[in-house]
Amino acid sequence: MDTRRGQPIGIELVRRGIVTEQDIDKALEYQKSHPNKKIGDILDILKLCDSQTLISEIGDILDEKAIYLQENDLKINALEYMSLDIMKQNKAIPFDIASGRIKVCFADTSNKRAMDTIRLLLLNKGLVMDKYITFESNILNIIRSLDGSVSDNINTNADVSGLVDSIIKTAMEKRASDIHIEPMEKFVRVRYRIDGQLITEVTIDREKQSQIIGRIKAISNMHQEKQESQDGRILLYPDYNIRVSSQKNVNGEKFVLRLLKKNEDIKRLFELGFPNDDKIVNDSFNKKNSITVIAAPTGEGKTTTLYSIIDYLNRPEINITTIEDPVEIRIDGLNQIEIDAKTSFEGALRTVLRQDPDIILVGEIRDKETAEIAMQAGQTGHYVLSTIHTIDAIEVITRLRKMNVSDYDISSTLATSVSQRLVRRVCPHCAKERELNQREKDIITKIGNKYGISYELDGVKTYDVVGCKKCNHTGYLGRIGIFEILNVTDEIKQLITEGASSIEIRKEALKQSYKPLIIDGINKVIAGITTLDELNNKLVIY
């Protein structure tokens, strides 16, 4: 903490009556044996004044925003924004975020190098830094608590088999979907993707890197000597299939382990966040002679939604066949085909059409050939379900056009396109309830006005996220989908046939039942399921 602006800070604190001259004498005596400590920090170490009062006065003297960080001041998981090593090197802690601005507490705001390092790091993440000042001991205590919280379940002192096993089992316990094991210049970093967010779990000494790599390759049936990209699978854990991917980088080989739970219960559609309305579900999915497409970027739950639709439609009198890469959940009563090195989506789909199917699930439409065969299947009496990578339900039409599928085939076969995103749920264990503030009401009202929707917002509750051990200090626990549904009506079919642009199609859809993703997101904010900040992080609405 900078204590050298204007007159000595000790004199100013005495003048303000915060401490006495005798207190300053004690601090100066302590400083003789601790020359790197500043007077303000020493006064706190010796507890010669209330910590919060002291830092507030020092902040006022230095013309800096100041805070004495407590556990409930940490509104975010700091490890999502910077590693422990960067925090330690720069004596800095990020502790809150809102509207693209992130609050960071420093032990010394006069350290230009530290300030620039953190500012640029956060700027690269699209965040503007607001600086705060506190005591160095306060910063170090928070870092120690974070260091302990991220490594208490992984036994870094175990032999390599035990170490890798604890990394994997801890990920399972924390509901991680992926494990990233990444070689850095001075250590190996282990991160978990939990509820869509990457969180640093632990760092491991660099000398263990080759042992960790050898163990992962051994249990995933990879070539030990080969350092090019490889794919493998770990089958040691009875409840999980674990897909493994390796990629060489400048510091060694990085591994990503995708955790796929076997025989996981299929969630009903409305549990995923889909509108709990039988008519909407029937209108969207209970089809014949057509295709329904689920659209979203990678990692937004498309496959989970497909499984839920199949579970909804599954009856003994219907022949359902799935073509997947890989088969993630096995469902009784389905014929499930897994793509491998000798089987393509296109080839498997051609064969399936000779197997008398009623419903066909194609894991992904990824090229012209698969798209054309899926269209043919939809035109010859089958109901096809698939996914596609695109940003929203309207753009499914554009994506199919770019695959050179004709407008006639799209208009005659595409029945429904559904787009979705996954937003994090407010953690019920630590969230603090409050009413919407005026800024939040204005944002929601503006969005509603754009789409002709009126919201009654007086008395509506929302939550401030806090963070606790149950939610890995993120303030969020689990995820839920937000959805938009485009049912391809006769009017929209006509526009597609005429080659209308996505803008023209969107205008017509908005006149009908179509509502964009943001509307379902706002509804879930008003229902207290998620927050406006989380919705903004996903859709960038302000």
Q: Contact, 91 vs 105, CB < 8 A?
A: no
What are 67-88's pLDDT values in tens digits?
A: 998 877 888 888 778 877 788 8
512-524: string of b/e by CB count within 10 Å (b at 16+)? eebbbbbbbbbbb
Alpha-carbon distance of 96 to 73, in angstroms, equals 8
Question: Which residue spans within 364-495 are E strands per DSSP?
Answer: 383-388, 414-426, 432-435, 461-464, 476-487
What are 307-364's pLDDT values in tens digits?
A: 889 888 888 899 999 988 877 777 778 898 988 877 887 888 888 888 999 999 988 8
User: What value does the mean pLDDT take over residues 232-249?
Assistant: 91
Residue 372 has pLDDT above 80, yes or no: yes
Distances (CA, A) of 471 to 211, 404, 430: 31, 45, 9
Give me the domains of the chain, ranges plus CATH numbers.
Answer: 9-145 (3.30.300.160), 153-261 (3.30.450.90), 269-539 (3.40.50.300)
Site of tokens 């007159």: 7
- The alpha carbon dihedral of 418, 423, 427, 430 has a sign of negative
Beta bridge partners of 127: none
Q: What is the radius of gyration, based on Cα positions, of the chain?
A: 28
Q: Contact, 383 vs 359, CB < 8 A?
A: yes
Q: Where are the alpha helices (DSSP H) in 191-328?
A: 209-219, 278-285, 302-313
How many residues would you count in the chain?
A: 542
Distances (CA, A) of 278 to 281, 306, 417: 5, 17, 17
Please give the structure tokens belonging to residue 267: 């969630």
pLDDT at residue 263, as a whole number? 67
Beta bridge partners of 486: 417
Residue 519 has pLDDT above 80, yes or no: yes
Please give the structure tokens belonging to residue 517: 């993703």
Alpha-carbon distance of 96 to 78, in angstroms, equals 8
Residue 186: CB atoms within 10 Å: 10
Residue 268 DSSP one-character state: P
Task: Name the pTM for this structure.
Answer: 0.69
pLDDT band at 153 (very low <50, low <70, confident <90, very high): low
Beta bridge partners of 321: 335, 360
What are 273-312's pLDDT values in tens digits?
A: 998 888 888 888 878 889 999 999 988 999 889 888 988 8
Residues 6 or more apart whose CB falls under 8 angstroms from that of 7 comprise none
pLDDT at residue 154, as a whole number? 77
Alpha-carbon distance of 443 to 439, in angstroms, equals 6
Is residue 539 exposed (0-12), middle (13-18) or buried (19+ Cβ within 10 Å)? Answer: middle
Torsions phi, psi of 418, nearest 5?
A: -120, 130
Q: Which of 324, 493, 337 is nearest to 415 (CA)?
A: 493
Residue 1 has pLDDT above 70, yes or no: no
Q: Contact, 485 vs 393, CB < 8 A?
A: yes
Alpha-carbon distance of 37 to 94, in angstroms, equals 23
Angle at 192 between CA 188 and CA 193, to 5 degrees: 140
pLDDT at residue 147, as a whole number? 61
Q: Output 46 or 244, whichever has higher pLDDT.
A: 244
Alpha-carbon distance of 354 to 74, in angstroms, equals 59
pLDDT at residue 515, as a whole number? 95
Element holding 246 (H helix, E strand):
strand 240-249
Average pLDDT over the chain, rounded to an integer: 88
pLDDT band at 4 (very low <50, low <70, confident <90, very high): very low
Residue 361: CB atoms within 10 Å: 25
pLDDT band at 430 (very low <50, low <70, confident <90, very high): confident
Residue 211: CB atoms within 10 Å: 15
Distances (CA, A) of 170 to 81, 190, 202: 21, 11, 11
